[in-house]
Amino acid sequence: MKSKFVVLAFFLNGTLMVIMQIFNRFGKDSSVYSFVFIMFTVGLAMTLLFFLVGERSATRRGVIIGFGLGICALLAMILQLKSLKTVPGIVVFSVVNGGNPALAAILIHAIFREKLGIREFLGIGIGCSGIVLLSI
């Protein structure tokens, strides 16, 4: 059951990247902000719907963390869309999708002292090498 969510997230994230590329190719400069506004508005509406249907309530701490994550996601999305104006999509998406897990693993190791073995470091190195190769 849980693996279905991973597969669904994989395809939805890929679909988001395709939609971003469509906005980049066929939209005007203002479409960057239109895309981000629509995406976050739909996300907010769906989240509110899930809260109304489910029996969960938001805590103050959860709301504060959510706002922080939302601001980070907003800025990242705007920068990613602006990057698509000057850098090929294959490079932008490779750096964003491949670089994020590598950076997160390194930061979590450094900040929270989570153990990373030789396989994890090799995986990070291979992933970063792949990003470089795609960028050439």
Alpha-carbon distance of 21 to 15, in angstroms, equals 10
State pLDDT tens for residues 30-46: 677 788 888 888 888 88
pLDDT in the model for residue 118: 92
Non-local CB neighbours of 64 within 8 Å, separated by 6+ positions? none
pLDDT under 70: residue ranges of the chain? 1-2, 28-30, 55
State pLDDT tens for residues 62-74: 889 988 988 988 8
